[in-house]
Amino acid sequence: MKKKLICMVIFITVMSTLLSACGGNKANEATGNAGTSGSATPAGESEKPLELTWLNILHTASPPTDVVKSKIEEYTKSKITFNWVPDASKEERITTALASGELADIVTLTMMTNSSVRSSLKSGLFWDVGAYLDDYDNLKNIPAEVRTAASIEGVLYGVPFQKNLARSGLVIRKDWLDKVGLAVPTTLDELYEVAKAFTEKDPDGNGKQDTTGFGDRSDLRYSSFKLLSSYFGTPNGWKVDESGKFTPEFDTPEYLQTLNYSRNLYENGYLAKDFAVTAKTDQQQQFAQGKTGIYTGMVDIKNLHDLSQGLQEGMELVPVNKISNGDGKYRVWSEGSGVGGLLAFPKSEVKTEEELKRLLQFVNDLIDEEVFMLMTGGIKGTHYEIDADGAFKIIDLEKWQADVQPFASSRPSEVTFSLKDANPEKEMSNQLIKENNDFAVLDPTVPLDSATANEKGTEMAKIITDASFKFIMGELDEAGFKEAVESWKKSGGTQIIAEYEEAYKKAKQ
């Protein structure tokens, strides 16, 4: 795409009413120098808007209206054209776009373990931004460990999405726990008993056995399986011992324990029978409609409650982040070591260093507190308010969902500022997510690279995914699953192991 050369914009905006709600002195430091980075702007150039396209992921049913978008454009002196890709089809759409070269000035890449994505990054398709970040007042604050985790063989191919280290956890119907006379579970055995009671003891009191303990969806990574796996002590992706030997998570005893646990849930009806063909939105609806009582994803607790309005009056929810395997220790898997992906800049669209710098300034400005609030809450007084206790509260849910919600997952940083939520369940969930940092289990391969994994790792992963689903549903026994593991190794897994071990060795030198 042919674009004009646009120079840097200089502006300073401080929203004092928001500082008291979400940042204190840290917020003052972060926003007080907004827009002061980069090269000087020639006279007359500052009024020209930056025209940019953004290939982005849509996590809601519909794209946002222009209400908040226009405010973001006004603040960042830009004109944004979004090309939204539905989350459910992102893998196919993004890999197709990478293969065809039909990209945009900014490309949201969240599938950092996808072989097509990693191959495209390593091929030189995108700019290396590592040397530029320290020139911008917000981007320079991205921690070194986050930059390392977001890099491939030491090269940073985009601005990292900064996420909490580990957001995973359970949401459980507290009112159902009270009905069946059980406490909030703290062990896997207790959790199993909760799932059983939610299925067999009529927790909704309608006189019918029409509820299920675990709702779930067709995604081993973001379903209950990955979380349960970390509770059992399974390594996150890979195990590496003191000698540098790598073992894939699915070749460990703990992974097999998780398979058996999930299989028992499924065979007894405590895990939704249709989980293998259920999408995330359907899983949420099942929970909101009172069909299931355990949901994986603490971060969704408020949305679940909102979805239940008019369907499940009196619903009480409790977020749970500490479940042990009985040894009294807690573990939770970390997605990307605090990295949610990259905002990448393809060289086919961003042809000059000057264009890259202007786009980096745009991303830098998105981290300013004012834009963070626009992308999180919308317009103060229209979409949200800050109450007397300093808590954030949505005023009009329907308007917020239409104008604001789709932008929430596009924030370059979710950790620079924090808001006290007026909803006590959501606030508790937020605090537990922060607590997860204390026992998060990292994936040692995040900053490493394997040529074989890049080439065909995603396709090979289907061998294990299919075998895991079949095992849970009783279509495969332990011997059959172990055969699938051997098939993975013969298909290139052994080479992937060797390449990770070599990359790890080099990184340690």
pLDDT in tens, 452-469: 998 899 899 999 999 999
Yes or no: say if 162 and 412 are a contact pair by the CB < 8 Å rule: yes
The structure tokens 């997605």 sit at 335
Per-residue model confidence (pLDDT) at position 46: 52
Are residues 283 and 380 both part of a single domain? no
Are residues 56 and 158 both part of a single domain? yes
Which band of pLDDT confidence, cut at 50, 70 and 90, is reported for residue 4? very low
- Give which of 117, 52, 58, 118 is closest to 85, Cα–Cα: 58
Averaged pLDDT for residues 292-303:
94
**11-20, 306-315, 453-462, 471-480: least confidently modelled range:** 11-20
Asked whether residue 444 is assigned to any structural domain, the reply reads: no
* Helices 253-267 & 478-488 angle (0-180, nearest 10): 130
Asked whether residue 425 is assigned to any structural domain, the reply reads: no
| Distance (Å, whole) CA 185 – CA 182 | 8
Are residues 156 and 182 both part of a single domain? no
Tens-place pLDDT, residues 365-406: 999 999 999 999 999 999 999 999 999 999 998 999 999 999
**Cβ atoms within 10 Å of 21's Cβ, excluding its own:** 24
Per-residue model confidence (pLDDT) at position 509: 78
Answer whether residue 26 shows pLDDT above 90: no
Averaged pLDDT for residues 278-292:
94
Are residues 96 and 25 both part of a single domain? yes
Which band of pLDDT confidence, cut at 50, 70 and 90, is reported for residue 186? very high
Are residues 66 and 205 both part of a single domain? no
User: Pick from 300, 317, 333: which residue ends a domain?
Assistant: 333
| Distance (Å, whole) CA 34 – CA 136 | 9
Asked whether residue 246 is assigned to any structural domain, the reply reads: yes
Answer whether residue 320 shows pLDDT above 90: yes
Asked whether residue 426 is assigned to any structural domain, the reply reads: no
The upper half-sphere exposure of residue 485, i.e. CA atoms within 13 Å in the direction of its Cβ, equals 19
Are residues 361 and 411 both part of a single domain? yes
User: Pick from 318, 333, 348: which residue ends a domain?
Assistant: 333
Which band of pLDDT confidence, cut at 50, 70 and 90, is reported for residue 446? confident
Answer whether residue 6 shows pLDDT above 90: no
Q: Which two tokens stand for residue 152?
A: 């491939």
Asked whether residue 71 is assigned to any structural domain, the reply reads: yes
Are residues 189 and 317 both part of a single domain? yes
Number of domains in the chain: 3
The secondary element (H helix, E strand) that includes residue 294 is strand 292-296
User: Pick from 316, 333, 350: which residue ends a domain?
Assistant: 333
**Cβ atoms within 10 Å of 468's Cβ, excluding its own:** 21
Per-residue model confidence (pLDDT) at position 361: 98
Question: How much of the chain exceeds pLDDT 90, in percent?
Answer: 79
The domain in which residue 317 lies consists of 170-333
Are residues 327 and 382 both part of a single domain? no
Are residues 302 and 382 both part of a single domain? no
For residue 203, the cross-strand partners are: none
The structure tokens 């029409």 sit at 210
Per-residue model confidence (pLDDT) at position 19: 33
Are residues 328 and 374 both part of a single domain? no
Are residues 351 and 324 both part of a single domain? no
Tens-place pLDDT, residues 214-253: 999 998 988 899 999 999 999 999 999 999 999 999 999 9
Tell whether pTM > 0.95.
no
- CATH number, residue 85: 3.40.190.10
Which band of pLDDT confidence, cut at 50, 70 and 90, is reported for residue 34? very low
Asked whether residue 311 is assigned to any structural domain, the reply reads: yes
| Distance (Å, whole) CA 457 – CA 462 | 9
Per-residue model confidence (pLDDT) at position 142: 96
Per-residue model confidence (pLDDT) at position 153: 84
Asked whether residue 421 is assigned to any structural domain, the reply reads: no
Asked whether residue 79 is assigned to any structural domain, the reply reads: yes
Are residues 64 and 94 both part of a single domain? yes
**Cβ atoms within 10 Å of 404's Cβ, excluding its own:** 26
Per-residue model confidence (pLDDT) at position 47: 65
Higher pLDDT, 199 or 449: 199
Q: Please give the backbone phi and psi of residue 248, each rounded to the nearest 5 degrees, phi first.
A: -65, 150
